[in-house]
Amino acid sequence: MKDRPGTIINRRVWLIVIGLVLATAATSLALTSNRGPSQVSTTLNSATPTPSTVHIETVAVSNSATPYATLPPVAPVTASTNGYTITIYPVSADPSRVLITYTLTTPPGHNAAAIYFANNITADWDLEGPMLTMRDSTQLLARNIRASSQEVEDFPDLSTPAPATSATKAIVFDRTRHANTSSVLSLHLIGDLIAVKSITYTSVFMYPITETIARNLSFDFTIPVDGFRRTADVNQTVRVGDITLTLDRVSVTSSEAVFFMHGSREPGSNTDGFQGASLWPSNLEVRTGTNKVKTQTGDYPLGNFNLQDTGTRRWVIFYPGNLLQSDDQLTMSIEEIVVGYAHTDTVILYEGPWAFRFTLPQATIEAGPLASP
């Protein structure tokens, strides 16, 4: 196949491209599959809130507090401090993840959309935490989600509309490398309330100025586990131009499809100026037969999809949606690859697609983790 030279992108475009890739790794998609989440057996709790619309870039705002739930919902738990009230809604658990949503209510004059239940907000807008621990003290790490640069606590002038005093967001905790030996998880959740007060600028980069407004809010709850999965060791390699990608393994649960991948650049390629640079898959597409499987509208973890770097050019891609009852034959394709360094002047954008076709087995319940040993 003929090599396809990459496209040089300037710093401002790089911010747009790689920022989205690092946080959500894709463009926003709408649900159109005839086997999508609307056909999942879902039991809704009348007490579960429908969140208000807020402007969030990569922090999920739910249209329903029980997306993709396959078992009866767990009762919410609430804590209050200094006029702030946070209500935790345990949504679902399976071999891939634990999903919760939370509703935050603030005193008048405070912007609930700019406040997060977390342990820290980094200079790159990444949310760290909160901490979720199982009964045996095993910690489940929160997957990478970003705070929004569109919402702040301190408004620049009086003409700014009054902020929302209530907002609902979502957090997802990873279970792909943990055993699945229990049908119920007993969990302890602890974190802080952190507000994005304002933004500071350096060149074209934006950095959050944050303040911790409440510390060590803790919750204890149990949640049932939907243990079914479909796992296939694919081990397919596809080269397009200078870039070679390998799909190692696919696991499907009731909440999402998980793709374990790695990639490389050809020696002597025109990306040699990017020695040690990262490769980031972008524009992921999944098909069952001829039907495109699109995620629910919104940001990850409720919609879109998420990419996490697990080592040197190794990734795990999380694609929300229920494919447990989908066709056995699936196609996953990567439409673009971004090559470069974060916070530098240029990157190279490569066009694919890199397409992988594979067969999923029937759903089973197994004790081992989703990830390969």
Mean pLDDT of 254-262: 92
Mean pLDDT of 112-123: 95
Instruction: Between 341 and 62, name the one with better pLDDT.
Output: 341
Mean pLDDT of 125-133: 95
The answer to whether residues 318 and 256 touch, using CB atoms and an 8 Å cutoff, is yes
Query: What are the phi and psi torsion angles at 351 (to 5°)?
Result: -100, 140
Share of the chain above pLDDT 90, in %: 46
What gap in Å lies between CA 352 and CA 244, rounded to an integer?
10
* 152 in the same domain as 79: yes
* 27 in the same domain as 82: no
* 244 in the same domain as 271: yes
| Per-residue model confidence as pLDDT tens digits over 174-204 | 999 999 999 999 999 999 999 999 999 887 7
pLDDT over 70 at 267, yes or no = no
Q: What is the pLDDT of residue 345?
A: 55
Instruction: Between 66 and 290, name the one with better pLDDT.
Output: 290
* 213 in the same domain as 232: no
What gap in Å lies between CA 276 and CA 131, rounded to an integer?
32
What type of residue sits at position 358? Answer: F
Angstrom CA distances, 60 to 102, 304, 334, 362, stand at: 11, 9, 23, 31
pLDDT over 80 at 275, yes or no = no
pLDDT over 50 at 88, yes or no = yes
Q: Of the ranges 75-89, 140-154, 247-261, 286-300, which one carries the lowest mean pLDDT score?
A: 286-300
Q: What is the pLDDT of residue 109?
A: 85
What gap in Å lies between CA 271 and CA 248, rounded to an integer?
24
Among the ranges 10-19, 60-69, 226-235, which has the highest mean pLDDT value?
226-235
Q: What one-character DSSP code corresponds to residue 3?
A: -
* 238 in the same domain as 137: no
* 128 in the same domain as 61: yes
* 66 in the same domain as 89: yes
Total H helices, total E strands in the chain:
1, 22
Mean pLDDT of 238-262: 92
Q: Whole-number mean pLDDT of the chain?
A: 77
What gap in Å lies between CA 131 and CA 222, rounded to an integer?
15
The answer to whether residue 141 is domain-embedded is yes
The answer to whether residue 36 is domain-embedded is no
Mean pLDDT of 93-103: 95
**Which residues form the domain of 285?**
7-31+228-365
What gap in Å lies between CA 4 and CA 371, rounded to an integer?
33
pLDDT over 50 at 61, yes or no = no
Q: What is the pLDDT of residue 157?
A: 55
Q: Which DSSP string corresponds to 287-356? A: EETTEEE-PPSSSTTTSS-EEEEEETTEEEEEEES--TTS-SEEEEEEEEEEEE-TTSS-EEEEEEEEEE
* 56 in the same domain as 15: no
pLDDT bin (cut points 50, 70, 90) of residue 221 is: very high
pLDDT over 50 at 211, yes or no = yes
Instruction: Between 305 and 302, name the one with better pLDDT.
Output: 305
CATH code, domain with 361: 2.60.40.1640
